[in-house]
Structure 1
Amino acid sequence: MNPLGGLHRIRAGVLDLAFHASGPQDGPPVVLLHGFPYDVHSYEEVAPRLAAQGCRVLVPHLRGHGPTRFLAADTPRSGEQAALGADLLAFMDALALPRAVLAGYDWGGRAACVVAALWPQRCRGLVSVNSYNIQDIPHAGEPDTPEAERRLWYQYYFHTERGRRGLAQNRRALAHLLWREWSPTWAFDPACFERSAPAYDNPDYVEVVIHSYRHRYGIVPGDAAYAAIEQQLAAQPRIAVPSLTFDGADDGVRPACAAAAHARHFSGPRDHDVVPGVGHNLPQEWPEGFAAAVLRLARG
């Protein structure tokens, strides 16, 4: 039996979106959103904890991952932040969810932050790894410290055609390397990785990933359908909903920081914690704590 619950499909915006559902239909809804290069299995220990506590747990496969597919061949395979946020909103609309707790990390955390910032009436509460996860694209060309730049080598690699071909040829090997670098204290076994690896076989995976890492630096244009959303995100809108934010103390790509580093982006109640012994894939490395945070907001 799948700990994430049954697999379902629904037409949501431009996607035939695949998702897992568990828990009672009338329970408080929570949406758990995975990152790159991971998949829904980041929540294989979080989802059953929440379902057992009476939550309606929804775990979608993001665009370009797993069994999720685009409805039309001519839809741009965008990976920009506005597209991820729009997908989440369309998913909630398709399921007739007026509000939900939104929780995620990496790409999924970005989608959750976008909806929490721009459509706060749809977000009962936010759980976000790495705090404010909306990209400041107008200032993306500003250099960071050499150490921070070194951590982003894969992004610069994806800016090149060599990087595109490398991702296409080495999907699993590249993901495995990033798992190790980003979570150096997480002793995941081969079986754990192999449960997630089929998500990278999605036919749109390479195009969506490459677009994501080029668009965030202004190298390529976005999908015109999301231009209005991107314009709003360029203003770095504040998040007013109740928020619980976390950093993994051993995160190899987004180093942990104090709550004050992102405080200006939150206008509502927010608690922030740094979790020792945990890296970038926080829900899978610390499922009990992540589930407790989601449950706190779902019951609040």
Structure 2
Amino acid sequence: MLAGMAHRTIRTDVLDIAYEEHGPPDGATVILLHGFPYDPRAYDHVAPPLAADGRRVLVPYLRGYGPTRFLSPDTPRSGQQAALGHDLLRFMDALGIRRAALAGYDWGGRAACIVAALWPERASALVSVSGYNIQDIAASAAPAAAEQEHRFWYQYYFHTERGRAGLTANRRDICRLLWRLWSPEWRFDDATFDRSAASFDNPDFVDVVIQSYRHRFGYAPGDLALEPIEARLAARPLIAVPSIVLHGGHDGVGPAEQSQRHDRYFTGPYVRRVLPGIGHNLPQEAPDAVVAALRALPVAG
């Protein structure tokens, strides 16, 4: 956590969402969203310069991470894409945020894309790492090239009960390996990993992660309360808000060529930038690129 930075908590319909806040409370709002297996530490060098610009910068912990907690033991511990989009929308509602610039990667990029696509009036702009992040669950059974199937080993592992047991017992070992594989040129140290790994001790982390990677392949049911959102996402909605896509040129889980033709999913102003030598954890590896992208896009009104 940034020196002196303490998290706050806001209650939504199903969660107490922990978040960190930077900048003036009356500034134009930017929401920065982390992925799996990361946490808000990914934005430690993104939030301060944006706050110095006079923006209100919010960095929430996703469901299953850090101090964020479910309100009821009866709420499904779902990590499906509709849950992530729903959580972001309700987070904005709870804080009275009418519109915000959204930026995210991995799970967080999915949440940002979903809100920008389904509720465009709530997003003034979008920075999406690795492109259009809304999942095509109906097509998930189609095999990919062998190299891509190899990159997805952890997802297939999580489809098994052995994988659940492994993540429960060895979550830090697994997550550290994913950091190395996905960002092959990023030389992070033990302290950097440990600062984020503390968020994986959340009591719901394993359940949320396992459900996420099973649901996206149709191997686990979703939360019934979220089915209306999933139905809308199945139509592959387009994104009309001004958008910049950033893609790490050495992303070890989703190579940059995967987003080459994602412009077809964006109907508003759109720019795509590939960053050579950068891996999957782009905000932490190349924070200046995220700051520059957000500065180039419209400010929330």
TM-score class, shorter-chain normalisation, is over 0.9
Distance 1:258 1:210, change over 3 A: closer
State the alpha-carbon separation in 2 of the partners of residues 259 and 168 from structure 1: 33
- Shifted more, 113-122 versus 284-293: the winner is 284-293
State the alpha-carbon separation in 1 of the partners of residues 6 and 161 from structure 2: 38
Distance 1:53 1:3, change over 3 A: farther
Map 1:131-146 to 2 at 5 A: 131-146=131-146
State the alpha-carbon separation in 2 of the partners of residues 264 and 231 from structure 1: 21
Match of 2:155 in 1: 155
Q: Which amino acid aligns with 2:41?
A: H
Deviations along 1:121-169, whole A, 9 cap, x unmatched? 0000000001100000011000000001000000000000000000000
2:124 touches 2:299 (CA, 8 Å); kept in 1?
no
> Deviation at 1:49?
1.1
Map 1:69-218 to 2 at 5 A: 69-218=69-218
2:132 touches 2:259 (CA, 8 Å); kept in 1?
no
Map 1:1-300 to 2 at 5 A: 2=2, 5-257=5-257, 260-299=260-299
Distance 1:28 1:3, change over 3 A: farther
Distance 1:298 1:50, change over 3 A: farther
State the alpha-carbon separation in 2 of the partners of residues 49 and 225 from structure 1: 38
Q: Which amino acid aligns with 1:198?
A: A
State the alpha-carbon separation in 2 of the partners of residues 199 and 215 from structure 1: 22
> Deviation at 1:258?
7.2
TM-score after normalising by structure 2: 0.97
2:186 touches 2:285 (CA, 8 Å); kept in 1?
yes
State the alpha-carbon separation in 2 of the partners of residues 293 and 86 from structure 1: 25
Distance 1:260 1:36, change over 3 A: closer
Q: Runs of at least 4 residues of structure 1 off by over 4 A?
A: none
Q: Which amino acid aligns with 2:264?
A: R
1:4 touches 1:47 (CA, 8 Å); kept in 2?
no
Q: Which amino acid aligns with 2:77?
A: R
Distance 1:194 1:24, change over 3 A: same
Deviations along 1:255-291, whole A, 9 cap, x unmatched? 0027641121111110001001100000000011111
State the alpha-carbon separation in 2 of the partners of residues 225 and 4 from structure 1: 38
**2:217 alignment partner, SS class:** coil
Counting matched residue pairs gives: 300
Question: Identity over the aligned pairs, expressed in percent?
Answer: 61
For structure 2, list consecutive stretches of 5 or more residues without a partner in the other structure.
none
**2:257 alignment partner, SS class:** coil
1:4 touches 1:59 (CA, 8 Å); kept in 2?
no
**1:293 alignment partner, SS class:** helix
**2:9 alignment partner, SS class:** strand
> Deviation at 1:231?
0.4
1:18 touches 1:68 (CA, 8 Å); kept in 2?
yes
State the alpha-carbon separation in 2 of the partners of residues 259 and 158 from structure 1: 25
Distance 1:162 1:258, change over 3 A: closer
Deviations along 1:45-104, whole A, 9 cap, x unmatched? 111111111110000000000000000011000000000000000000000000000000
Distance 1:290 1:3, change over 3 A: farther
Question: What's the Cα RMSD here?
Answer: 1.3
- Shifted more, 156-165 versus 253-262: the winner is 253-262
State the alpha-carbon separation in 1 of the partners of residues 77 and 195 from structure 2: 25
TM-score after normalising by structure 1: 0.98
State the alpha-carbon separation in 2 of the partners of residues 245 and 32 from structure 1: 14
2:242 touches 2:298 (CA, 8 Å); kept in 1?
no
Q: Which amino acid aligns with 1:83?
A: A
1:28 touches 1:298 (CA, 8 Å); kept in 2?
no
Distance 1:109 1:4, change over 3 A: farther
Q: Which amino acid aligns with 1:231?
A: A
State the alpha-carbon separation in 2 of the partners of residues 287 and 104 from structure 1: 12
State the alpha-carbon separation in 2 of the partners of residues 207 and 175 from structure 1: 15
